[in-house]
Amino acid sequence: MKHFLLAISTLVIIALFPLLTSCSAEKNQAVRMGLASMPLNLDPRFSTDAASSRVGRLIYQKLVDFNDAKMPIPVIADWNQISPLHYRFILNNRRNKFHNGDQLTSKDVKATYDFILNKDNSSPHRTSLALIEKIETPDAQTIDFFLTRNDPLFPGYLVIGIIPQKLIEQDYKFNKQPIGSGPFQFITQTDEGKLQLKRIADNLTVEFLHVPNPTVRVLKLQRGEVDIIQNDLPPELVTYLSDLDTVNIKRTEGSKFQYIGFNMEDPVLQHVEIRRAIAHAVNRNEIIDFVFGHSAREAQSLFPADHWAGNSALKGYEYNPEKASNLLAGFGYSKEKPLELTYKTSNNPFRIRIATIYQHQLKNVGINLDIRSYDWGTFYGDIKSGRFQLYSLAWVGIKTPDIFRYTMHSKAIPPNGANRGRYINNEVDKMIEEAESYKDLTKQAEIYRTLQDHLLKDLPYIPLWFEDNVVITRKRIQNYTITSEGNFDGLKTVTL
């Protein structure tokens, strides 16, 4: 099967190659990156999709980031814990300026976070920051955060890009014309799917081009119309590219967590036995081996086992079609009388391929899966609005366990968070709140491990795998680094 898919993809590339325009990017000093999906919202107060977060890291600066151990480190501000409920941040670079020339001060930090905390603004990040009681700015460099409860992880929550107070007060549309203070300045974005940034240090232009079809992205890479492709490629295309001497390929283990989500308000899917039947019917190892080419790791929770809050004792749902059939039979479903379900996904060909595999596997146990694919914006909008039965998405860049409040707490249903499955469980809420009440990270980790065990049993989502990261660049591209999070930070150091 793998050789057949590789042969088909190679034939498609050969057939389409002459159709591409003859122009070459080699004559242009811009670095072009082909994206499967473009950012949906470049306003850091509202962005939640992966592409927006990755591009936003280039445009905006934030108070805090994370090191390789997934612990918070200073970016534009150092901090001290004055008391259990009082953190003081001091801006560490008085030369920080926004791209419009304004100085970045403590008032900009306060204005950014005050906007998010105002419930009338419906920021999806408000739930994660709800422990902030008030923010004060004693001077232009100092920001005091006063909390409603002690939380040793609090600095790690301050990862929102800072925007100018003056423009916030003018109701400026950051999504249309972002203004930050990061290493890249926004230039333009077109309806045709091109986003341009300028690297401030040397005026290097970076262009993000929307090329949803992976085969076309590969073709454009060969022709020099695209310089960088990162992820969202089927393994047979990566194999094809690995035989070319015109490109470089880098790989690393990734932390991108893929899952199948359920609508917990659905009258059928609200039964845990039905959800478990679906989990037993999906053969994850087969997909990892033959579709991903072993370039993914099986997942049991949002965190891998080696994360400080991970749970190495978790045992996932083994592929067991007989058990799945028996669970469905308890509700009167069988191959002769199948359960009808709809599954939503993006129109990414690779994701559609995986969906058809789910469809085949579920059919074997008595479930007819109706696959509905949409452009990224429509699909993502439906998921946030709860218009689905099943869907699949991924979480990227997860660092701290506050993700559980953001995605699993009953108060985090969109637009107040990312509890997209509308999961309501009082016991889960209590565990999240209990973990947050401890200042000792060891005790927090213990509770979060119990929480992950509970979630795996109750199954508001099916953990699938952590996908590896792969970057393919043309030979003229140098010094592009790749991280486990799959972000675009390599553009900060890339050279031609």
How, if at all, do strands 228-230 and 461-474 pair? Answer: antiparallel
Structural contact between residues 455 and 262, judged by C-beta atoms closer than 8 angstroms: no
Largest alpha-carbon pair distance within the chain? 72
CB 44 within 8 Å of CB 60:
yes
Distances (CA, A) of 257 to 276, 301, 349: 19, 8, 19
CATH T-level fold of 254-467: Dipeptide-binding Protein; domain 3 (3.10.105)
Beta bridge partners of 431: none
User: Domain residue spans in the chain?
Assistant: 2-40+52-57+178-253+471-492, 59-164, 254-467
Distance between CA atoms of 150 and 439, rounded to whole angstroms?
A: 6
Residue 371 CB neighbour total at 10 angstroms = 14
Q: Using an 8 Å Cβ cutoff, are 121 and 160 in contact?
A: no
Q: Which amino acid is at 473?
A: T
* CB 408 within 8 Å of CB 428: yes
Tell me the pLDDT tens digit for each residue of 304-346. 888 888 899 999 899 999 999 999 999 999 999 999 999 999 9
Q: Please write the tens of the pLDDT for every residue from 250-298.
A: 999 888 899 999 999 999 999 999 999 999 999 999 999 988 888 899 9
Q: For the domain bounded by 2-40+52-57+178-253+471-492, which CATH number is listed?
A: 3.40.190.10
Nearest CA among 378, 388, 386 for reference residue 346: 378
Whether residue 183 is preceded by a cis peptide bond, meaning omega within 30 degrees of 0, is: no
The predicted model gives 448-469 an average pLDDT of: 95
pLDDT in tens, 135-175: 999 999 999 999 998 888 899 999 999 999 999 999 999 99
Q: Model-level pTM greater than 0.85?
A: no
Q: Please say if the pLDDT value at position 16 is more than 50.
A: no
The fold for domain 59-164 equals Dipeptide-binding Protein; domain 1 (3.90.76)
Q: According to the model, what pLDDT value does residue 14 have? A: 43
- Residue 345 parent element (H or E): strand 339-346
Beta pairing partners, 257 = 395, 466
